Each structure stands twice: as structure tokens, then as C-alpha cells.
Amino acid sequence: MSEILTVRIQHYTRAMLVAIAGVVFAGDQLTKALVVRSIPRHAIVTVIPHFLNLTDTSNPGAAFGLFSQSTSPWRSAVLIAVSVALLVVVIAVVLRSRGLQWEAGVALSLIIGGAASNLTDRIHNGKVTDFLDFHIGNFHWFTFNLADSAIVVGALILVLYLMTGE
């Protein structure tokens, strides 16, 4: 009986993890599409003065604009290959893990959903759409998107879990 319960919980957990990744993916793709349709390129829409703007920008490089200034014809191909490889590794970890704790599963699902969405942008457009522009005074954080947020939150949860968990 306990084996049946364990199998059902594992399937439920995997379904839940797929749902989390799917919601992140869909939410990110939807918000990017809304921004591209609604905000002129590089225009700034103030949401909260002196704190949050929306803008339609793109990043042909990696996180935090790394390699965005590179003129190499291989830039997109290398970034796509690295993204695919890392995504495959994370998915393999989830699929091979038995009894994955929910914290780690949620963290990995957030990472998978965000990485898959940014990878989709990179494959279709050669760049990733970013639109969230947070700033305090003259300090501006790098413009990012919901997928980036999911990846960062997932990574933080995973690090905290690894530092405090089993």
C-alpha cells in the first residue's frame, strides 16, 4: 500500500513541477508579447516613479548583458548550445531524482521554466526580450524579465535548501 502511495505522490509531484515550469514559461512569454505589442522600442513607461519602469529592450548576450557587445557570428549559436546543455542537465536531475524534496523540486521547476522561455526567445529572435527596469536614484539594475526572476528565485531557493537541507 505504501508503494502505491509513494508512486502517486511522485507522479503528483512531477505533475506539479511540470505545472510550475509551464506557468513560468507561459507567463514570461505572455508578458514579453504584451510588452513588445504595447511599448515602443526603448520607450520608458513609468510604473512607480523613481523605482520601476517598463521598457522594451533586448539582450543578445547572456545574463547581465555578458557578451552582448560581442560581434562574433558564433555568439547566438554558443549561447543556445550552452542553454540547451544546461537545461538538459537540470531536467535530467529532476527526472533521475527519487524522492526529490519539494523545495528542490520547486526551485528546479522555476529554473527550467525560466531557462526554457529565454531559450525560446534566443532561438526565435537571436536575443531575449527584457522589460523590467528597477532603479533607485541613479542606480539602475540590469533590465530583466519574468524568466530571469524565476531563474534567480529558483537558484536562491536551491542554494538555501542545499545549505540548510539534507
Of the candidates 28, 56, 121, 130, the residue annotated as catalytic is 130
Residue 56 designated active-site = no
- End-to-end Cα distance, the chain: 26
- List, in order, residues 6 or more apart from 161 with CB less than 8 Å away: 101, 103, 104, 107
Residue 121 among the catalytic residues: no
Question: Considering 28, 121, 133, 148, which one is annotated as catalytic?
Answer: 148
Residue with cell 519602469: 53
> Helix axis angle, 2-38 relative to 102-125, nearest 10°?
40
Q: Which residues contact 164 (CB under 8 A, 6 or more apart)?
A: none
**Contact of 24 with 117, CB cutoff 8 Å:** yes
Residue 98's CB is within 10 A of a number of other CB atoms, namely: 6
Active site residues per annotation? 130, 148
